[in-house]
Structure 1
Amino acid sequence: MSFFSLFKELFQNLNQQRLRSFLTIFGIMWGTATLILLLAFGTGFRDQQVLNMRGMGDQLAIMFPGRTTMPFDGYGIGRPIRYKEADAKLIADQVSDIDVATPEYMRSLEITYKEKKRNSSVGGVYPVYQELRNTFEQKGGRWLNERDQEERRRVIFLGNRLAENLFGEEDPLGKTVMVANTPFKVIGVMQEKIQNSSYNQQDRDRSFIPASTFSVMMGTDQINNILYVPSDPAIAPAVMDQVYEVMARRHRFDPKDRDAIGIWDTNEFWAFINTIFLGINGFLGMIGFFTLAVGGIGVANIMFVVVQERMKEIGIRRSVGAKGYHIMGQFFLEAFVIVGLGASMGYVIGYGLIQAMQNIPIEEFVGTPYFSPQVGLIALGVLGFVGFAAGLLPAWRASKLNVVECLRQ
């Protein structure tokens, strides 16, 4: 029997049992759409969390001063560890696997423009800070540069919400604000960015001035934090151990005393993200798989009924020379066509639902679902398995039927 004849006969059978065919195809269609939608949500949620974390910076580690909890070399416990700018340079020089290390001053100060006042966490930073923390400027403005640092200029870069609170609709560029009663010229405003974590205040409410200006203005060389980036995220734990050893030698504490200095390594978050979302997407995929499997069971049941109804046809074909694998191939093909019809409609419906959800305001919380090639391939693989499983037993049973028993029907 030719492929054309097989398809013609298949569609004639589907047409004769419209309700049964519709329900069978609907089960596959709904299962496919559910699988695609769940996988798309899982992918969108993962990407949104990654985007949120990028607001802190890429592969960044932040060092905070602490207190010793172990006696060491004649020193008791409870001794505070304080950083200076030289500590950042020492780490960069002595830990070869660190690409960059930079100090950060920080203090909550009042910023005033005309009658408006806001408290802001003012950071005294070096120009490299921008790349580490993804604090990029809006069009027309600029970030702090080396000349600002060298000449101790009184210039300030504002977070976008801080600028909005102080200036409203007025353009802040070039205007003068008072920082703790000291005039500063606004040189830039930060682009809006998604940020769901911080270690003092979100960057949209912060402001930044040159580290040299901050040190002179506040009369201190004691910094608040040190930021560094390992050359390879895979070796971040080893780099952290080296940092503890370098700082322990300089500040005289036991390198095993992890409370002497605190290190927030965001690389650990990336590893956590990969693990947790692998589990989440696996869970969502299993829900979609079981939903689709229900449709596959429906296909298998229908194919068993079809085999029973067409026993005489099978007997006639076998009696005129058809082999068992011919019969098996015919029923396999029919099962895959049914699954293919339902899957095609499921793909269209799933894609349509994903597109319909693009404008729903849920991005900040769970991300926006999107149809990726990965989602499509996973769904295709699951559908292939379901089609194979749904057609195997009915097709095998049809191929093993006794010719005489079939002709008796």
Structure 2
Amino acid sequence: MSIPSLFTDLFRNLNQQRLRSFLTIFGIMWGTATLILLLAFGVGFRDQTVLNMRGMGDQLAIMFPGQTTQAFEGYGVGRPIRFREADAWMLKQQIPAIDIVLPEYMQNLQISFGEKRRNSSVGGVYPEYQGVRNMYEQPGGRWLNEDDIEDQRRVIFLGNRLAQNLFEENEDPIGKKVFMQDTPFTVIGVLAEKIQNSSYSQQDQDRAFIPASTFSTMMGTDIVNNIIYTPEDPALAESIRTQVYEVMGRKHRFDPSDTDAIGLWDTNEFWSFIDIMFLGINGFLGLIGFFTLAVGGIGVANIMFVVVQERMKEIGIRRSVGARRHHIMGQFFLETFLIIGLGAGAGYVIGWLLVQATQNIPIKEFVGAPYFSPEVGLIAFGVLGFVGFAAGMLPAWRASRLDIVECLRR
């Protein structure tokens, strides 16, 4: 049978049983739309979580000073560990797998402009901090540079919400002087708005940043609050962590196995967890969508069994004039896939429209917006192919195995 004849027969049969045909196609259409929407929500949730985490920085580890919980080389328990700026440079020198390592000074100080005052976590940092923590400036401003460090300049970079709290709505902060305690600082930049769902002191939008050399000189200390680093290869994160405890243990005289002596938050562990977590979430959502689509597939299979019964005489005639079993089987297989294709096509359109309609959900900042990615389309196509094969296999096999004489008696 030619392809045009196949289409003609299919649409004639669908037209003869309009309600039955509609319900069958609707089941596939609704199952496809549901599968696409669920998978799109899973992808959107994953992307939003990654975006939120990137506000903190990409694949970085933060070291915090702690206190010993084990006696070591004559030193007792409960001895506080303090980081000095030189410790950061020592780690870079002794652990080649570390890409960037930076000390960070930090203190809660009052910043004022005119009559407006805000308490803010002020960080004394180096220029490389920008790339490690994704600190990008709004147009017209700049980040700290090497000259600021070398000359110990009194310049300050403001978080965007801190700037909003200190200045009027249409006032440009760049070039203005603010006071940190009683010391004037020139504003050189304002943070570009970014999504951030985690922090180890205060949200970056509420913080301020000055050159590390300026901070150290003003406060008269080289003791830093924490040290941050990034690995050259995320796969080496665990090995680097072990080496960090060994190097710092030798320097500060504590047992490398005493993990309470140094607190270490390695965000690389989070990225590994993210991959596993969303594999499970998307798998679960896909399974729900698959079962919804499978119900529609069962409806198609039932309809095809009825069609085989109704067309037994046609099957008998075709077999008697030379059609082979695989011809009959192929015909009903194609008809099954055509029915599923009609429902799937409509389902893809409806699914895409639902995805577009839910782009501005109120909780988008937390769960993200559904995203119709190529990944979603391919998974849906694969599931539809499986459902179509399962729904068409038994009816087509039964049609090809009917007895010719029995069919002609109908």
| Structure 1 length-normalised TM | 0.99
Counterpart in the other structure of 1:47:
47
Deviates more, 1:118-127 or 1:399-408: 399-408
Alpha-carbon distance in 2 for matches of 1:353, 1:83: 53
SS of 1:101 mapped into structure 2 = strand
The structural deviation recorded for 1:79 is 0.4
SS of 2:289 mapped into structure 1 = helix
Q: Which residues in structure 2 correspond to 1:9-408 (within 5 Å)? A: 9-169=9-169, 170-408=171-409
The structural deviation recorded for 1:361 is 3.4
Alpha-carbon distance in 2 for matches of 1:123, 1:175: 19
**Residues 260-281 of structure 1: per-residue CA shift (max 9 Å, x gap):** 0011111111101111001000
The structural deviation recorded for 1:352 is 1.0
The structural deviation recorded for 1:168 is 2.5
Alpha-carbon distance in 2 for matches of 1:138, 1:7: 60
SS of 2:67 mapped into structure 1 = coil
Alpha-carbon distance in 2 for matches of 1:33, 1:10: 24
In structure 1, what residue type is equivalent to 2:28? I
SS of 1:149 mapped into structure 2 = helix
The structural deviation recorded for 1:248 is 0.3
The structural deviation recorded for 1:405 is 1.3
SS of 1:120 mapped into structure 2 = strand
In structure 2, what residue type is equivalent to 1:56? M
In structure 2, what residue type is equivalent to 1:338? I
1:133–1:112: structure 2 CA closer, same or farther, 3 Å change rule? same
SS of 1:20 mapped into structure 2 = helix
Alpha-carbon distance in 2 for matches of 1:327, 1:223: 79
The unaligned stretches of length 5 or more in structure 1 are none
Alpha-carbon distance in 2 for matches of 1:291, 1:166: 54
SS of 2:144 mapped into structure 1 = coil
The structural deviation recorded for 1:360 is 3.0
**Residues 359-382 of structure 1: per-residue CA shift (max 9 Å, x gap):** 333320110111111111110000
SS of 1:234 mapped into structure 2 = helix
Identity of aligned residues (%): 76
The structural deviation recorded for 1:324 is 0.9
In structure 2, what residue type is equivalent to 1:86? A
| Structure 2 length-normalised TM | 0.99
The structural deviation recorded for 1:330 is 0.8
**Residues 107-158 of structure 1: per-residue CA shift (max 9 Å, x gap):** 0011111111101000011111111101111100011111111111111000
The structural deviation recorded for 1:41 is 0.6
The structural deviation recorded for 1:240 is 0.5
The unaligned stretches of length 5 or more in structure 2 are none
**Residues 66-122 of structure 1: per-residue CA shift (max 9 Å, x gap):** 000111111111000000000000000000100111100000011111111101000
SS of 1:197 mapped into structure 2 = coil
The structural deviation recorded for 1:6 is 1.5
**Residues 227-258 of structure 1: per-residue CA shift (max 9 Å, x gap):** 10110001100011011110000000000000
RMSD: 0.8
**Residues 279-300 of structure 1: per-residue CA shift (max 9 Å, x gap):** 0000000010000000000000
Alpha-carbon distance in 2 for matches of 1:362, 1:407: 63
**Residues 350-399 of structure 1: per-residue CA shift (max 9 Å, x gap):** 11111122233332011011111111111000000000000000000011
Alpha-carbon distance in 1 for matches of 2:229, 2:329: 64
Alpha-carbon distance in 2 for matches of 1:393, 1:211: 74
SS of 2:118 mapped into structure 1 = strand
Alpha-carbon distance in 2 for matches of 1:365, 1:54: 14
SS of 1:301 mapped into structure 2 = helix
Alpha-carbon distance in 2 for matches of 1:251, 1:240: 16
SS of 1:229 mapped into structure 2 = strand
SS of 1:335 mapped into structure 2 = helix
SS of 1:139 mapped into structure 2 = coil
SS of 1:77 mapped into structure 2 = coil
In structure 1, what residue type is equivalent to 2:388? G
Alpha-carbon distance in 2 for matches of 1:278, 1:131: 29
In structure 1, what residue type is equivalent to 2:115? E
In structure 1, what residue type is equivalent to 2:47? D
In structure 2, what residue type is equivalent to 1:316? I
